[in-house]
Structure 1
């Protein structure tokens, strides 16, 4: 069992590769460098996972996201393929054991972030490995023109010194020509075989729908779609609101965002993938490794930050090759708000200086000092202390991380849970005896539903702010209630960990990266502007616009997007016929034959008009094969 196809059948249960996967895999097996652009859904990971199982030695995978690394390692482990991820949660002793396993334990994959690669200790350990080849995932991160630039990616060529005989494969799903050129140049990949698959999707129709009532339009669309759906929103609060609204209208939906616990994420994913809840409402945290074939529609309720993000998210529809749709619901106010929101939440150099100063003050770090230990970090407590907007402060912290000033480990997913173990009447008696607890318990009951029936995730900090007391006092009270048997309280420290990577020098620290900050601000704003221009452009086919952005020449209109179909707008005769049809159907349901007799029009005109009304969801077909008006 050593041919690529045999490995594919054994571990992945696929009988064939998708083009051009097999060609890429054979190139890697021949130990030739290659740069790969494969759109979302074309199985990039197989392009390095399969050859790694054919070749002797360890495959090193550089990936930018801890969650993505964790997802892939878990997936490989479930297939009984040995893989190790180096995260900040590992102690030095655990890292030594991991490298011993890589050398002597038959492990095939070493996953790590580009930041982790900068450690001299880890570099020395990598030097000792027998490496088959090195895979750089999400390679667009190495380009300042990429949609998720990471300066640490620029230091990846150190691997050429550590493993001079190793070959490289760089992979990305979306890249403009400039980004693609940067990948080759910055990774210093010589004589690379280049594989590019067109981003054109003939079975995917792109449409922009202008609406003042998102929810009403959403219901119309979902009434028409009977298969799986993804609805993207821009924030966690909106995912919950939209999901609740859909459930109130009897749709089977669930939601997903980065703030959920691991169990909650797994449950949401499992019910969606099994079609128990075929509608997924999510932020862009939902997407890694998603390969569900029957996603029929991807809907954006907000403006994507870039066309790179948009084409990846839209590309999750129609992977089975059947007709599918990508819909953006928007209006002019929404487009204006996207621009305003970007400027309000994207930090300036001055604001980043303020955040950096406050972080040092928060942990009492002296000028000229660099602490060696990492600290517990709660973004909520930090922002409350300095009266900061959480989203803007978080974005500033991520800029500091991007520029290697700090390191924020957010891989803390455990949350505290609470459940009342006594009934309502017993609780009432308890409060009569201990009235000092009344305000606290009332707050819990108002804040969390179902807390008598099941363990509920709680946020001690939010409770402390509402009561005007410290978080520590809330924890003490909950532990006391747990001890007396009133509640079952499972406390978890859900803080992130923050490390300072440079000596504190305040203004100088930020001034030396200010040009990078300003340049990245301009690039991100240009990408948002390009997305807004794409939405507003009602003259050029959506497919042509998208492919042009990614430097693909295509002059043939798709004929299906909202721009193309608007050019085939109904004639005055058709408009009149549409009006007459709706009048008749307002009185009673009718078949096409009955409509034809009543209207005295030719069959072709009638069928065309009925098609228009069906596409606009103005009418529907009953179980008796008659047409009815949608109210």
Structure 2
């Protein structure tokens, strides 16, 4: 029998020693102490509860907020021949009873549950029947209304203290300040918990923030100089493919990743990147879970993340091998404007929350005081269109209603309708010529989705409606007319969500019960946007100092390697103007970023001297928006 954490670590994970403070955390858990572990991204949090569980008899119950995160951890444990289970979506009562029997009699070591599952009496009863050795709460900051991802359902985890009074808890998070840590301890009813906190300071990670207009050119410059595995984070699915294609066109092997890809597409992209067949991956923030690649040398934020917490988590995927690495962020004035606008557009008022909540009941014809034990198919876009609601705000409202236990949502946003043209090009053309009302619709449809004659293509009826200038309902009607003529095969997805109501209809009274918490949550969202913008625009204080201060940590000295520290250390370049003229004489015409790269001088200094040379009539800007020497006549 294996009897030490080190032997377990070597047998299952192939490492011979722990990172600080993993060993101390494991010892605390093995001594049956309630424990809180704050380890930055890449700090190896999972090992802190997985190794003690493997040394103990019984099962560890792991509470985690995301289905995908749970599935990912279960898959990784199974790869190591460690038995782990989670309850699949859509499981009925018999499925759940069978699964708990597997846990009870099948030597399963880890059972992953969402906090919402804990509210079910059946789950609570089944947990009482298990031999539970430990309760681990992953992403524990979700329990605090001061955390960046507050989920009221996390407050229900405390029920496990009543069900399992002798079992110790470990709470784990990568992002929490002092106030959040206190909230975690209080809301989990922890008994004098041992706190282990690793500094957020990453000595080997250079944070570099650049205010630039031409982001694509800067990407080329960076990847020309830096030949390391890299992640480029962008803010839309469309951009992942566009920028990966741009990099490939410039001979940088790249792939892309987002939540809308198929399982096979995700797996291929991930494996190509992991094997470094394609060392650059362009991704949305959906790319993050399960990344265990220590030699990532560069993380670029092409667009702005939503908060400091998200930025630190994503940037922290670079340099896990302790070698010098770079976290680069691009921004310009338009990015700042859009970030502020997005914050305004996505944060509803209390009145707007009450309005959406009331209309939900009206939409499904539920009377005051009534509670229907029914699951409704819910088309999000149709609902927004019907009541003229702003989609971003409505999405936030729905999540809030779910978080506060007012409704339950089963998300299926990624499901898409599909379409393939089954008629010949001639028959489609003939039909559209003879049907003037559908001619424009057919033309736009064929222009919008290439390959409809060859392949079954995913389509978005709401997007088509916007392009044609009709309603989504009319788009569906038109597609069904085409299908009736045997010209297309249309597979409609009837709903984006399944929705059920958890409380009787009381309209404003329901929202008023949570109004204080909701106001605080919305205020915090605005504050986080402001904090992040302040961070990227503060060019006078060391980036690491700013980040540590945000997480209530003091830094004795500056990092020395961020863009701010380098600017402070740098001796001003001499004769910059004459150097610019010399390089223009040789190269004929160059952009400011190209001059900056060739002379190895900061672009903001180059721009100052270019302005002086323009005023002195020494250089001109040509019709390609590049600088060149003025030719004397």
TM-score when scaled to structure 1?
Answer: 0.86
Structure 1 SS opposite 2:259: coil
Q: From the superposition, tell whether residues 101 and 475 of structure 1 become closer, same or farther in structure 2 (CA, over 3 Å).
A: farther
Once residues 302 and 374 of structure 1 are traced to their aligned partners in structure 2, the CA distance between those partners, rounded to angstroms, is 38
Give the corresponding residue for 1:627. Answer: none
What is the CA distance between 1:541 and its match in structure 2?
A: 0.8
- Superposition deviation, residue 215 in structure 1: 2.7
Alignment of 1:21-100 (within 5 A): 21-100=22-101
What is the rounded CA distance, in whole Å, between the counterparts of 1:433 and 1:475 in structure 2? 13
Counterparts in 2 of 1:185-334, with a 5 A limit? 185-334=186-335
Q: Cα distance, 1:117 vs. partner? A: 0.9
Q: CA deviation at 1:293?
A: 2.1
Q: Structure 1 residue 397: deviation in Å?
A: 0.9
Q: Closer, same or farther in 2 for the Cα pair 1:178/1:444, shift >3 Å?
A: same
SS in 2 for 1:100: helix
2:415 and 2:496 in contact (8 A); partners too = no
Q: Does 1:346 align with 2:347?
A: yes
Q: SS where residue 540 of structure 2 aligns?
A: coil
Task: Give 5+ residue unaligned stretches, structure 1.
Answer: 589-608, 619-629
- Contact 2:345–2:392 (8 Å) recurs in 1: no
Q: Residue 302 of structure 2 contacts residue 331 of structure 2 at CA under 8 Å; is this kept in 1?
A: yes
CA separation in 2, counterparts of 1:10 and 1:376? 48
In 2, Cα distance between the equivalents of 1:247 and 1:387?
A: 41
Separation (CA, whole Å) in 2 of partners of 1:567 and 1:369? 66
Query: Which residue of the partner structure matches residue 594 of structure 2?
Result: none
SS at structure 2 position matched to 1:295:
coil
Partners of 2:415 and 2:441 lie apart in 1 by 23
1:306, 1:181 → 2: CA distance?
Answer: 21
Which position in structure 1 is the counterpart of 2:177? 176
Gaps of 5+ in 2: 590-596, 607-626, 629-633
Task: Please state how far the C-alpha of 1:314 moved relative to its aligned partner.
Answer: 0.7
Task: Report the CA distance between 1:477 and its aligned residue.
Answer: 5.6
The answer as to whether partners of 2:378 and 2:495 remain within 8 angstroms in 1 is no
Cα 1:240–1:101 change in 2 (3 A) is same
Match of 1:394 in 2: 395
The residue aligned with 1:160 is: 161
1:366-405 matches, within 5 Å, as 366-405=367-406
What is the distance in 1 between the residues matched to 2:450 and 2:177? 48
Name the SS for the 1:573 alignment partner. coil
Distance 1:103 1:35, change over 3 A: same
Q: Residue 237 and residue 552 in structure 1: after superposition, are their counterparts in 2 closer, same or farther (change >3 A)? A: same
How many residues in Structure 1 have an aligned counterpart in Structure 2? 595
CA deviation vs aligned residue, 1:147-204 (integer Å, no higher than 9, x gap):
1111121221110111111111100011111111221222121132221111111111
How much does 1:457 deviate?
2.3
Q: What is the deviation of 1:44? A: 0.9
How does 1:222-621 map onto structure 2 within 5 Å?
222-410=223-411, 413-419=414-420, 426-429=424-427, 431-432=429-430, 442-463=443-464, 466=468, 468=471, 469-470=473-474, 473=477, 476=480, 495-571=496-572, 573=574, 575=576, 578-579=579-580, 582-583=583-584, 586=587, 612-613=600-601
Q: Secondary structure at the match of 1:303?
A: coil
Distance 1:187 1:441 in 2: 58
Q: Deviations over 1:251-307 (max 9, x none)?
A: 433333334443433333233323333332222222122222232221223333221
Q: CA contact under 8 A between 1:87 and 1:112: conserved in structure 2?
A: no
CA contact (8 A) 2:535 2:546 kept: yes
8 Å Cα contact 2:420/2:452 also seen in 1:
yes
Q: CA deviation at 1:418?
A: 4.3
Q: Which residue number corresponds to residue 623 of structure 2?
A: none
Cα distance, 1:474–1:79 mapped onto 2, change above 3 Å = farther
Aligned-residue offset at 1:146 = 0.8
What displacement does 1:463 show?
A: 4.4
* 1:267–1:389 CA distance, 2 compared to 1 (3 A): farther
Asked if structure 1 preserves the Cα contact closer than 8 Å seen for 2:229 and 2:295, the reply is yes
User: 3-state DSSP class of the match of 2:600?
Assistant: helix
C-alpha change, 1:55 and 1:275, in structure 2 (3 Å) is same
Change (3 A) 1:587 1:611: closer
Is the CA contact (8 Å cut-off) linking 1:261 and 1:414 kept in structure 2? Answer: no
Query: In structure 2, what is the Cα distance between the partners aligned to 1:447 and 1:587?
Result: 42
C-alpha separation in 2, matches of 1:283 and 1:587 = 39
CA RMSD in angstroms comes to: 3.2
State whether residues 262 and 413 of structure 1, in contact with CA within 8 Å, keep that contact through their aligned partners in structure 2.
no
Please report how far the alpha carbon of residue 135 of structure 1 lies from its aligned counterpart in structure 2 after TM superposition: 0.2
Q: CA deviation at 1:357?
A: 1.5
CA contact (8 A) 1:297 1:326 kept: yes
Paired residue secondary structure (1:221)? helix
Residue 454 of structure 1 deviates from its aligned partner by 4.5
Deviation track 1:479-518 (CA, whole Å, cap 9, x = no partner) reads: 668xx6x767666666322121111111111122221111
Change (3 A) 1:335 1:442: closer
Contact 1:383 1:393 in 2 (8 A): yes
